[in-house]
Amino acid sequence: MTAAKTEGPVYAFVGLGNPGPRYADTRHNFGFMFIDHLSRALGVPVEDTAIAGAVSGHGVWNGHRIILVKPITYMNLSGRAVARLLEKRPEAGDNLWVAHDDLDLELGWLRIRPGGGSGGHRGVAHIQQVLGHQQFGRFRLGIGRPPGGRDPADYVLAPFEPSEEPLVLAVLDRAVAAAQVLMAEGPEAAMSRFNGPVAG
CB 11 within 8 A of CB 93: no
Q: Residue 1 has what DSSP assignment?
A: -
List strand residue ranges (DSSP E) for the chain, in order.
10-15, 54-61, 64-71, 96-102, 109-113, 137-142, 196-197
Q: What is the pLDDT of residue 7?
A: 65
Whole-angstrom distance, CA of residue 183 vs CA of residue 179: 6
Q: What is the pLDDT of residue 149?
A: 82
Query: Distance between alpha carbon 18 and the CA centroid of its chain, in Å?
Result: 13
Whole-angstrom distance, CA of residue 168 vs CA of residue 21: 19
64 backbone dihedrals φ, ψ, rounded to 5°? -100, 135
Axis crossing angle, helix 30-42 with helix 165-185, rounded to the nearest 10: 60
Q: What is the pLDDT of residue 123?
A: 97
Whole-angstrom distance, CA of residue 60 vs CA of residue 33: 20
Active site residues: 28
One digit per residue, pLDDT tens: the chain, 200 residues? 333 444 679 999 999 999 999 999 999 999 999 999 999 999 999 998 999 899 999 999 999 999 999 999 999 999 999 999 999 999 999 999 999 999 999 999 999 999 999 999 999 999 999 999 999 999 999 999 999 889 999 999 999 999 999 999 999 999 999 999 999 999 999 999 999 999 74
Interstrand relation of 96-102 and 10-15 (parallel, antiparallel or unpaired): parallel
* CATH number, span 2-197: 3.40.50.1470
